[in-house]
Amino acid sequence: MTPEPETRSRATAAYTAPFLVFVALLALERALGLNPLWAYPLRLAAVLAALAVFSRPLLKLRFALPAASVVVGLLVFAIWVTPDILFHYRHYWLFENSFTHVAKSSLPDGLRRSFGFLAVRIAGSALVVPVVEELFWRGWLMRWAMERDWQKVPLGTYRAGSFWLVALMFASEHGPYWEVGLAAGVIYNGWLVRTKSLGDCVLAHAVTNLALGIYVVAAGQWQYWL
């Protein structure tokens, strides 16, 4: 049975609204040069509100292979940082240019020593961003690219066109880290195809972001927080 238009629009909002709020507020912060000390927590609060209003009434995340999802998340983390550790090619023109910009943190020096802000930043990266991005990229766009009446497409359905479209768009979201972003997109997409579970993709993504956040702070590798 085809969902009624109102029901379909509510479902679309559940998967897309938090991401759109997140991206719009991020763009506004950068355009106006707002101080992350208060702008970042406000962005998180707005996104959490969008999740509560639009997403929570309709969505329930389940886990099919949670232990394996943790391993997948750690694998993506390793892929993310290993090229820079071993090969030091990040500043080549292919990765830093007028389109991708440069691998440089937007975080002011003072906030790099603020325990409270860093705790909020890591928590946001690990607990909020994975939910928002997985809902949008793999929960909605991967299916919408197959069929405009996207709710008829089961989670984890594989079609090459939508699989690679989402992987490429996910890569473009990560600027000078596009090549590891592409690898991450392929792995997360493949994990959804394997598990048929958006919850497992959220968990894997959360582990990646948590490991990366800890690495950024512990090793002083701030450039990963663009």
Q: Is residue 15 part of a domain?
A: no
**pLDDT (tens digit per residue) in 137-162:** 999 999 999 999 999 999 999 999 99
Is the distance from CB of 183 to CB of 191 less than 8 angstroms? Answer: no
pLDDT greater than 70 at residue 6: no
Mean pLDDT, rounded, for 28-45 = 95
Mean pLDDT, rounded, for 39-68 = 93
Mean pLDDT, rounded, for 11-38 = 95
Q: Is residue 51 part of a domain?
A: no
pLDDT at 118: 97
Q: Is residue 203 part of a domain?
A: yes
Q: How many helices (H) and strands (E) are present in the chain, helices listed first?
A: 9, 0
| 141-161 b/e (C-beta count within 10 Å ≥ 16 → b) | bbbbbbeeebbebebbbeeee
Q: Is residue 20 part of a domain?
A: no
Rg over alpha carbons for the chain, rounded to the nearest Å, is 18
User: Which amino acid appears at position 35 of this protein?
Assistant: N
pLDDT at 206: 98
pLDDT at 74: 98
pLDDT greater than 90 at residue 47: yes
pLDDT greater than 50 at residue 1: no
Q: Is residue 198 part of a domain?
A: yes
| 40-73 b/e (C-beta count within 10 Å ≥ 16 → b) | beebbeebbebbeebbeeebeeeeebeebbbebb
Per the structure, the complete domain to which residue 147 belongs is given by 62-224
Count of positions (residues) in the chain? 226
Q: Is residue 45 part of a domain?
A: no
Q: Is residue 54 part of a domain?
A: no
Helix ranges (DSSP H) in 128-197: 129-134, 142-144, 160-172, 178-195
**pLDDT (tens digit per residue) in 181-212:** 999 999 999 999 999 999 999 999 999 999 99
Helix (H, G, I), strand (E, B) or coil at 41: helix
pLDDT at 58: 78
> Per the structure, how many domains does the chain have?
1
User: Cα dist. 145→14, 49, 74, 106, 201 in Å?
Assistant: 17, 27, 28, 33, 19
Cα–Cα distance between 14 and 29 in angstroms, integer? 24
3-state helix/strand/coil string of 116-129: HHHHHHHHHHHHHH
Q: Is residue 18 part of a domain?
A: no
Mean pLDDT, rounded, for 76-87 = 96
